[in-house]
């Protein structure tokens, strides 16, 4: 049976589709559909015209824009993969120009060339999806709140020479409202954790790791889809930008072993905070930190290593039925 690969380029209102075969030849291109339930239904009817072939759909991971497509594909048992856009971009090589139809063809050709690497995407449960959305909303609120607080400080300095009391009051009002909103979001996240036995079990296990607070634990569960998205802690450390990589080539290039800039910066920041807490309360990590400082290592480099250790501990605890054991120095 002939295998066809369907590339989809998703935007807010529409999505383009292109079909190629295993020899990278275009079977059908320049197909545009509305990014709505009706449009997706039309697309599925279009796929049905090629039902005598094995179909594999591939699209970029574009967050909320592709959420409806992923939901409908999962509901209809259509085999599809979500791929990091950067991976597709790097695999294409040098290109000139772009549009949605061309991008759809490039995604389809990527799928055809890398069929051995494609994995069917499994939509996480509804509770995990809600947890991820709520965590994203909270992070957005906190960012705005930090900006407002910084602006408030500058206004308070300006108040010494100019009457800006109205602006100060408005800032304080907005900050208070955001603080209430953040607490409401956190309450909703806690309700989800307590209502789901599997999530709550993982939450209680990883909370035992020193340095891991409630929000860090929830973020780990959301980011790893309750520890099903990543096979081990090393891969999650790579995702967070905590795992070090060697940079050498031949006999002349001897770069420093360092982390990759391709990472989730928000997760990395969260784990650095966890590491800062852990070196104050965990005897083993405190001893490790002090020893490395005495050896002349840079403190940020040591914190990165501690954060990496915390990630490995979290995965070790989450993937086994043994509790975390606090070790002495």
- Residue 141's alpha-carbon distances to 53, 137, 174, 187, 258, in angstroms, are 47, 6, 11, 15, 32
Say which residue the tokens 């990165």 belong to: 304
pLDDT at 146: 94
For 273, the token pair is: 């905070």
pLDDT at 329: 57
Q: Which H helix or E strand runs over 245?
A: strand 244-249
> Under DSSP, is residue 207 helix (H, G, I), strand (E, B) or coil?
coil
Residues in the chain: 329
> Under DSSP, is residue 160 helix (H, G, I), strand (E, B) or coil?
coil
Residue 178's nearest CA partner among 204, 148, 207 is 148
Q: How many CA atoms lie within 13 A of 64 on its CB side?
A: 7
CB atoms within 10 A of CB 167: 15
CB 111 within 8 A of CB 120: no
* pTM score of the predicted model: 0.83
Q: What is 3-113's CATH number, 3.30.70.360, 3.40.50.300, 3.90.550.10, 3.30.420.10?
A: 3.30.420.10
Q: Give one DSSP letter per residue of 256-295, joined into a string.
A: EEEE-S-S-HHHHHHHHHHHHHHHHH-HHHHHHHHHHHHT
- For residue 124, what are the contacts with CB-CB under 8 A and spacing of at least 6? 132, 225, 226, 228
pLDDT at 244: 81
pLDDT at 1: 66
CB 20 within 8 A of CB 14: no
Q: Give one DSSP letter per residue of 54-92, joined into a string.
A: EEEEEEE--GGGGHHHHHHHHHTT--EEEE-HHHHHHHH
Where along the chain do its domains lie? 3-113, 126-195, 198-329
Q: How many CA atoms lie within 13 A of 261 on its CB side?
A: 1
Where the chain has pLDDT below 70, the residues are 1, 251, 327-329
Give CA–CA dist 32/34, Å, rounded: 7
pLDDT at 115: 87
CB atoms within 10 A of CB 186: 16
């Amino acid at each position: 049976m002939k295998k066809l690969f369907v590339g989809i380029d998703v935007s807010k209102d529409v999505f383009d589709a292109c079909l190629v075969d295993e020899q990278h030849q275009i079977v059908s291109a320049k197909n545009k559909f509305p990014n709505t339930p009706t449009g997706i239904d039309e697309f599925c009817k279009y796929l049905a015209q090629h039902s005598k072939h094995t179909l594999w759909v591939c699209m970029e991971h574009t967050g909320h824009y592709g959420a409806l497509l992923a939901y409908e594909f999962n509901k209809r048992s259509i085999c599809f993969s979500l791929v990091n856009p950067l991976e597709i971009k790097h695999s294409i090589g040098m290109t000139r120009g772009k549009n949605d139809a061309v991008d759809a063809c490039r995604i389809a050709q990527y799928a055809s060339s890398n069929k051995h690497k494609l994995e069917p995407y499994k939509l996480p449960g509804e509770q995990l999806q809600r947890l991820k959305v709520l965590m994203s909303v909270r992070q957005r609120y906190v960012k705005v709140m930090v900006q407002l607080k910084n602006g408030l400080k500058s206004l308070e300095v300006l108040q010494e020479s100019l009457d800006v009391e109205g602006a100060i009051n408005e800032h304080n009002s907005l900050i208070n409202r955001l603080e209430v909103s953040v607490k409401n979001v956190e309450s909703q996240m806690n309700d989800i954790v307590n209502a789901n036995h599997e999530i709550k079990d993982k939450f209680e296990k990883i909370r035992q790791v020193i340095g891991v607070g409630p929000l860090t634990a929830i973020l780990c569960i959301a980011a790893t889809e309750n520890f099903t998205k990543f096979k081990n802690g090393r891969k999650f450390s790579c995702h967070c930008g905590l795992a070090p990589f060697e940079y050498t080539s031949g006999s002349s290039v001897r770069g420093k072993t360092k982390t990759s800039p391709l990472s989730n910066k928000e997760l990395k920041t969260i784990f650095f905070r966890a590491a800062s807490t852990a070196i104050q309360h965990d005897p083993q990590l405190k001893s490790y930190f002090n020893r490395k400082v005495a050896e002349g290592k840079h403190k940020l480099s040591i914190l990165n290593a501690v954060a990496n250790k915390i990630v490995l501990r979290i995965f070790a605890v989450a993937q086994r039925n043994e509790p975390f054991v606090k070790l002495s120095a």
